[in-house]
Amino acid sequence: MQTHIKMHTKNLDFFYGDFQALDQVSIDFIENRVTALIGPSGCGKSTYLRCLNRMNDLIAGIRVKGLAMLDNDDIYDPSIDVVTLRRQVGMVFQKPNPFPKSVFENIAYGLKVNGMKDKAKITRIVEKSLKQAAIWDEVKDRLNESALGLSGGQQQRLCIARALAVAPEVLLMDEPASALDPIATQKIEELITELSSKLTIIIVTHNMQQAARISDRTAFFYMGKLIEVNDTDTLFTKPELKQTEDYITGRFG
């Protein structure tokens, strides 16, 4: 089967001031697949994720070297509009962070800031996004109520719906289930699997079972370096390096 590389980095270095947080990281992300980034805390996986939609730009004193590509565009090229990039590469955060607005307004926000004015179209996309995020049935009668009244798991699926509304091509997820209970986590995992038929997903997770369950490919980070990346099944059953094996079998980390 022909696979298309949706995003890739080549020899990506990242510095916070003098501290080098990423060292020569090269990964290919295949279109419409789920790639999991695993590794112990502080290994650079979240930093790497935030390089992919340039959220790190918000931090003062950072420096990026190397190549990060979305299709054929270098996302760190000066001609790239960061605002457009972030619409193409959406993000879901660790803690559910809905705006203190109604359920409807939360989803419509991304459409409005991107210039959509047609109310009927906005309503249609809000409904479609909520259905895609498998939360429509739970919120369809309370679209005008505050999103902050939803449970944690519902809020996180709302945030996923909000990210989907602007039709991103890639979705970055930074430990999206780590603040949720097991049932809410299961729903998010099912959702990720479903979404991956139409969307390239890159997910940071601390939970190795989760990585094994939901991802097609897994990348293992340690101390700012990419140690090993492979098909998830291969990486978990026949890791090439001892370091990877030690981590996934729980011998360190």
Partner 1 sequence: MIKQRLIVQKVCFSFLKIAALLNGAALAVILYFIISRGWRAISWEFLSQAPRDSMTAGGILPCIVGTMALCLVTIFVALPIGVASAIYLNEYASQGKLVRFIRLGINNLAGVPSIVFGLFGLAFFCIVLKMGVSAASGGLTLGIMTLPVIIGASEEALKSVPNTYREASLAMGASKWQTIRKVVLPVAFPGIITGSILGISRAAGETAPIMYTGAVFFTPDLPASILDEVMALPYHIYVLATAGTQIEATRHLQYGTALVLIVLVFGMNLSAIILRSKIRKNLRI
Is there binding between residue 62 and partner 1 (CB under 8 A)?
no
Quick check: 157 binds partner 1 (CB under 8 A)?
no
Among residues 83, 119, 197, 252, the one that binds partner 1 under rule CB under 8 A: 83
Closest to partner 1 by CB, 91 vs 227, is 91
As measured in angstroms, the least distance from the Cβ of 166 to partner 1 is: 6
Q: Among 43, 55, 70, 177, indicate the residue that binds partner 1 (CB under 8 A).
A: 55
Sign of CA dihedral 171, 173, 177, 179: negative
Identity of the residue, 58 or 183, whose beta carbon is nearer to partner 1 in the bound complex: 58
Nearer to partner 1 (CB atom), residue 84 or residue 209: 84
Tell me: does residue 84 bind partner 1 (CB under 8 A): yes
Helices 119-132 & 152-165, crossing angle to 10 degrees? 130
Task: Confirm or reject binding of residue 87 to partner 1 (CB under 8 A).
Answer: yes
Does 64 help bind partner 1 (rule: CB under 8 A)?
no
Alpha-carbon span 243 to 230, nearest angstrom: 14
Angular region, 53: left φ>0, alpha ψ -120 to 50, beta rest? alpha
User: Which region among 25-33, 158-166, 184-192, 244-252 touches partner 1 (by CB under 8 A)?
Assistant: 158-166
Half-sphere CA count of 221, side-chain side, radius 13 A: 29
Tell me the three-class secondary structure of 33-49, residue by residue: CEEEEECCCCCCHHHHH
Tell me which of 34, 70, 135, 163 binds partner 1, using CB under 8 A: 163
Binds partner 1 by CB under 8 A, chosen from 6, 33, 45, 86: 86
Residue 151 CA to residue 210 CA, distance in Å, equals 22
Can residue 151 be called a binding residue for partner 1 (CB under 8 A)? no
Long-range CB contacts for residues 55-63, cutoff 8 Å, separation at least 24: 55/86, 55/91, 56/14, 57/82, 59/16, 61/16, 61/17, 62/14, 62/15, 62/16, 62/17, 63/14, 63/15
**8 Å CB contact between 50 and 86:** no
**The two three-digit tokens of residue 212, written as one number:** 């094994």
Considering the complex, state which of residue 102 and residue 215 has its C-beta at the smaller distance from partner 1: 102
The residue count for binding partner 1 (CB under 8 A) is 32
101 counts as binding partner 1 under rule CB under 8 A: yes
Residues that bind partner 1 (CB under 8 A): 53, 55, 58, 60, 83-84, 86-87, 90-91, 93, 95, 97-102, 109-110, 112-114, 145-148, 159, 162-163, 165-166
